[in-house]
Amino acid sequence: MKIAVLSDTHDNLWALDLAIPHLREVDVVLHCGDVCSPFTLKRLAEGIQGKPLHLVWGNNDGDRRMLAKIAEQAGNVVLHGEFADFGIDGFRVAMSHYPEVARAVARAAEHDLVCYGHDHNLHSSRIARTLLLNPGELHGGLTGKATFAILDTESTALQIIELKPEK
């Protein structure tokens, strides 16, 4: 199974549009918060053509009422709130927007994947059996790189994808 992990979109629709063809090739999409606006969530949910999208709140997700309405209407979005802990075909996943929460959960070594965002810094490390992952920022504005990750749960191969606009 292939899982895409993204975070910190911050309404950057050009980056989202570049990511969507890649996201259509995976089985499940995880978003670690700061989608920001309802129109961005709608574009993402529709763009992945019905694939499951798991989402946690970020500190810049503004109109949470409308984001929740868009999630419900989309039919493929699971809005977990501040923290997510769930399984996908026996693969245990935890998600938080915040690095300090993710690091603490990863140290417990009860999950296969713990992912987070917030600081916009691409990071991956192993703590026992747990992959601790920040896919970087899809936005690309703070670090200068628009990135996300794809994890193959069978091989445990991690691919970091950097999006570059056409010139």
pLDDT at 132 (0 to 100): 98
Going edge to edge, which strands form the sheet with 146-152?
A: 77-81, 53-56, 28-31, 2-6, 146-152, 158-163
Which residue in the block uniquely carries the two structure tokens 């503004």?
A: 62
Q: pLDDT tens digit string along 139-159?
A: 999 999 999 999 999 999 999
Q: pLDDT tens digit string along 15-45?
A: 999 999 999 999 999 999 999 999 999 999 9
State the CB neighbour count (10 A cutoff) for residue 30. 29
What are the start-end ranges of the E strands in the chain? 2-6, 28-31, 53-56, 77-81, 83-88, 91-96, 113-115, 123-127, 130-134, 146-152, 158-163
Predicted TM-score (pTM) of the model is 0.96
pLDDT at 167 (0 to 100): 52
Checking if the pLDDT of 89 tops 90, the result is no
Beta strands at 28-31 and 2-6: parallel, antiparallel or unpaired: parallel
Checking if the pLDDT of 165 tops 90, the result is no
**Is domain 2-163 classified as CATH 3.60.21.10?**
yes
Domain ranges of the chain: 2-163
User: Residue 65, SS3?
Assistant: helix
